[in-house]
């Protein structure tokens, strides 16, 4: 079996703390919980933030596992893009000793058609090849939309076929939401997956408001709540088989497994991260942190 992967945090969860407390103090709290690796996402890569990320490496021993990048910048949104900021992206990655770079989402314009998806995959493949010249590997992170079928083929497979130099970052919650089995999907992409997102899949309870809607005759509102009982969850608080997922991830050669939770349902991010940490320790993975 391959070496154990390191469990870290996906920083999308921490963007409010980064904005309020700064990168270093945020990662100090992450370190205090017990996580020693972080994937940077939705955090502006300003000179100040990059400097604090670098400081967290030396003072906290924080591993900046991966950085995020877009192919193109959506209007009005911050972030670095491969088209416009290639040299900056490479410079930041080298300063932070981050050899993994990831695209977190299909660009919105590419969602219009499968031809647009193919164009995206081919263009990103060119950037993946350029990044390899700098010792950096590029990966693509899935949601559920990539499990739509076109002529019997999943969109994710079409992306993979048209971008052979780009790897995959498999998000197990979104695989489940897309109707597939996370373990089998990790095994399918075993030769090109360096990062796995650990995110649980929970079926919640119907809120009181739903029954009030039903009582007032708002059947459509009730049914909307019925559809929305699928929730994101702290690792170990939902229905996914994480011992099997982690075993498959490590067998596939994953270097990092990153805890993420898109919605918290009233909990703080620190409570959620602590719960995921404690549950993973209870599962026997204390040596992965």
pLDDT attached to residue 78? 72
**Residue 176 predicted with pLDDT over 90:** yes
Split at pLDDT 50, 70, 90, the class of 2 is low
Write out pLDDT tens, residues 71-111: 998 777 778 999 999 999 999 999 999 999 999 999 998 99
Enumerate long-range contacts of 143-151, CB under 8 Å, 24 or more apart: 143/105, 143/106, 143/171, 143/174, 143/178, 144/174, 144/175, 144/177, 144/178, 144/179, 145/106, 145/111, 145/178, 146/106, 146/178, 147/175, 147/178, 147/179, 147/180, 150/114
């Amino acid at each position: 079996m391959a070496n154990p992967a390191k469990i870290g945090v996906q920083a999308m969860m921490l963007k409010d703390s980064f904005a309020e407390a700064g990168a270093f103090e945020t990662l100090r709290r992450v370190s205090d919980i017990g996580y020693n690796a972080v994937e940077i996402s939705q955090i502006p890569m300003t000179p100040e933030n990059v400097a604090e990320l670098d400081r967290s490496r030396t003072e906290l021993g924080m591993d900046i596992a991966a950085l995020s990048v877009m192919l193109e910048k959506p209007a009005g949104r911050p972030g670095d893009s491969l088209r416009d900021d290639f040299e900056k992206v490479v410079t930041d990655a080298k300063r932070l000793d981050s050899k993994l770079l990831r695209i977190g989402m299909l660009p919105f314009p590419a969602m219009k058609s499968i031809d647009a998806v193919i164009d995206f995959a081919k263009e990103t493949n060119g950037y993946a090849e350029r990044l390899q010249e700098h010792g950096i590997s590029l990966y693509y992170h899935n949601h559920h939309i990539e499990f739509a079928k076109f002529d019997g083929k999943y969109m994710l497979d079409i992306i993979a076929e048209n971008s052979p130099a780009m790897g995959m970052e498999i998000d197990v919650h979104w695989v489940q939401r897309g109707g597939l089995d996370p373990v089998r999907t990790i095994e399918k992409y075993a030769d090109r997956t360096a990062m796995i997102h650990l995110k649980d899949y929970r079926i919640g309870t119907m809120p009181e408001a739903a029954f009030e809607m039903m009582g007032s005759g708002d059947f459509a509102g009730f049914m909307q709540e019925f559809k929305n009982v699928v929730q994101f969850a702290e690792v170990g608080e939902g229905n996914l088989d994480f011992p099997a997922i982690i075993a498959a991830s490590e067998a596939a050669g994953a270097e990092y497994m990153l805890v993420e939770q898109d919605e918290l349902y009233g909990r703080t991010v620190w409570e959620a991260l602590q719960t995921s940490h404690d549950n993973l320790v209870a599962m026997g993975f204390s040596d992965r942190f």
